[in-house]
Structure 1
Amino acid sequence: MSEKITQEQRLDYLVKEFKADSDEYKDVQVPGDTEGKQRILRSLMNIRMPKTLSDDVLAVQDEYLTGRAKEKGIVYLSDIPIIRDGFSIWQGDITRLAVDAIVNAANSQMLGCFIPMHTCIDNCIHTFAGVQLRAECNRQMNHLRERFGRNYEQATAVPMLTDAYNLPAKKVIHIVGPIVQKRLTSALEKDLADCYRNTLDMCRENGLKSVAFCCISTGVFHFPNKRAAEIAVDTVEKWMADNPGVMERVIFNVFKDEDKEYYEELIQ
């Protein structure tokens, strides 16, 4: 049986099982084409609350997502040029990177994006990691609520480390960036710098030698892109100078051409 047919059978099985797992969408119509089925599966995964799933379904999900990762193309450190001092810029889908850790721009609930097919990085990471990621985030948040109260939400710039499950990366570091509501302030700039500094501290504490940062807070959190890039590069440069030899590679992962240009100007 060819890999393509096998993946199609896995997809059909997962759509059926995730539909059955959903009270609200168990009767949803499924398109006949592969892309349509993929949209349905992703949407069902996106809206699913953290709860147990049978080992059989998890095993097929893991096989399917591992196959999807190969289809998209895994990007290794050796594929990404070093610009200087262990710094790299890479434009593309962060879920393709085979690094020690990728950074997820999370929200204060820390459970991923529940909007079906949303294009935010939080949604993409949770989708291609698999449902185990939301479950682990939920367990960690439950432990924190036991300590700090049932209404606890993750504070800005406090990182959370999880496994990466079916992603090529080893770990995911989830962090809540500052939200710019009216105007940019020095306090918000400090919060963003703390996101980068605290993430690197977590890498050091856990022996993670390579990390890919997304453009924290520059999306729906409205942090100005150019200033965000300046803070990111400046903070990481200072941290690397204070911690020589700790990190082998820091990758600034960008998606927009605008951000790529800003980082290229800053790292020469």
Structure 2
Amino acid sequence: MRAALGRLVAYLGTERPEFAGLAVPEDPDERWTLARALMNMRPPLPVPDAVLADQDAVLRARVAQAGATDARDLPTVFDDGRIALWRGDITTLKADAIVNAANSKLLGCFIPGHHCIDNAIHSFAGIQLRLACDDLMRAQGYDEPVGRAKTTPAFNLPASFIVHTVGPNVSSGVPTAAQDEQLASCYRACLNTAADAGCTSLAFCCISTGEFRFPRERAARIAVDEARAWLACDVRIERIVFDVFDEEDFEIYDRLLKA
């Protein structure tokens, strides 16, 4: 993996004039940080097959090192045997589909090393994901509206598909009734899109609660209500995972799911 990562950094450096003569770090962690930053910044342009092969080898090795968690092995919770609550890294979850909280361009986060879920998913899925999203957006011809969903392959992630949805951006921190409905629409659209793609398991992130400032408790209540309502009417999804990253979100979902 070390050699493949070095070749990947060297190639990505040649794509940007400002990085001409870029030195490849010796430290493996520094080398990966640089590779990720260069991948985050690059536009959706094709790369040679040999470069993709090196990238894929690097990403799959990192997934193997981190270990994958199978959504089917997670204990279900409370009154519905189809819902699970899990605190972990969604990029390591083996499910039929995982949800990405995307922006309206659907091309991922271009800020090097940013800690949003959009950046993480694009980073560990690989260059192919931005290319696939670009194809979708070019065919569509306009920015992705809030409350809908689109599916792409997951490429180097343990999941099979990624369901991309754009949640409401609550700049004031206080959602309107219309924004509540937009968030609810995100959850319904993700479930319908995943089910239509033949998925039987779907893992949700906390849509809109990060950079888009939707209050956590209110967002979680909408998420749980929409999931339960959908499951009451449709049997195609056999496992919904609410994936949270920190203890506060875990406690919120744990309480709501017990109610």
How much identity, in percent, do the aligned residues show?
44
Q: Which amino acid letter does the alignment assign opposite residue 15 of structure 2?
A: D
Q: SS of 1:201's equivalent?
A: helix
CA–CA separation in structure 1 for the residues paired with 2:12 and 2:197 = 35
Q: What residue is the counterpart of 1:89 in the other structure? A: 85
Q: 230, 244, 247: which is aligned to 1:254?
A: 244
**Does 2:258 match 1:264?**
no
Structure 1 CA distance for aligned equivalents of residues 187 and 21 of structure 2: 44
What stretches of structure 2 of length at least 5 have no aligned partner?
A: none
Letter matched to residue 97 of structure 2: A
Q: Which residue of 2 aligns with 1:75?
A: 69
Equivalent positions of 1:1-268 (< 5 A) are 7-83=1-77, 84-145=80-141, 152-182=142-172, 183-243=174-234, 245-268=235-258
User: Residues 181-225 of structure 1, C-alpha deviation per residue, up to 9 Å, x if partnerless?
Assistant: 222211110000000001111122111100000000000100000
SS in 2 for 1:14: helix
Output the CA distance in 2 between the equivalents of 1:203 and 1:156: 17
Report the residue type matching 1:55 in the other structure: D
**Aligned-pair RMSD on alpha carbons?**
1.1
Deviates more, 1:35-44 or 1:72-81: 72-81
Query: Quick one: distance in 2 between partners of 1:47 and 1:233?
Result: 35
Residue 84 of structure 2 aligns to a residue whose secondary structure is: strand
Amino acid at match of 1:73: G
Residue range with higher mean Cα deviation, 108-117 or 199-208: 199-208
The one-letter code matched in structure 2 to 1:218 is T
Q: 1:236, 1:18 → 2: CA distance?
A: 41
Partner amino acid, structure 1, of 2:222: I
**3-state SS, counterpart of residue 60 of structure 2:** helix
The aligned amino acid for 1:236 is: A
Structure 2 CA distance, aligned partners of 1:35 and 1:204?
A: 38
Structure 1: which amino acid aligns with 2:110? F
Match of 1:4 in 2: none
SS in 1 for 2:81: coil
How far does the alpha carbon of each residue in 1:149-168 deviate from its partner, in whole angstroms, 9 at most, with x for none?
xxx21100111110000000
- What is the DSSP-based 3-state SS (H/G/I as helix, E as strand, rest coil) of the residue aligned with 1:212? strand
CA distance in 2, matches of 1:23, 1:211: 41
> Scaled by the length of structure 1, what TM-score is found?
0.93
Query: Residue type matched to 1:193 in 2?
Result: A
Displacement, 1:78? 3.7
Question: Size of the alignment, in residue pairs?
Answer: 255
Q: Report the TM-score, using the length of structure 2 for normalisation.
A: 0.96
Give the Cα–Cα distance (whole angstroms) in 1 for the partners of residues 24 and 3 of structure 2.
Answer: 14
CA contact under 8 A between 2:146 and 2:182: conserved in structure 1? yes
Letter in 2 for 1:177: G
Structure 1 unmatched ranges of 5 or more: 1-6, 146-151
Whole-Å separation in 1 of the counterparts to 2:88 and 2:21:
35
| Distance (Å, rounded) in 2 between the aligned partners of 1:194 and 1:18 | 38
**1:177 Cα offset (Å):** 0.2
Query: For residues 79 and 204 of structure 1, do their structure 2 counterparts lie closer, same or farther at Cα, with a shift above 3 Å needed?
Result: closer
> Is this contact kept in 1: 2:71–2:241, CA < 8 A?
no
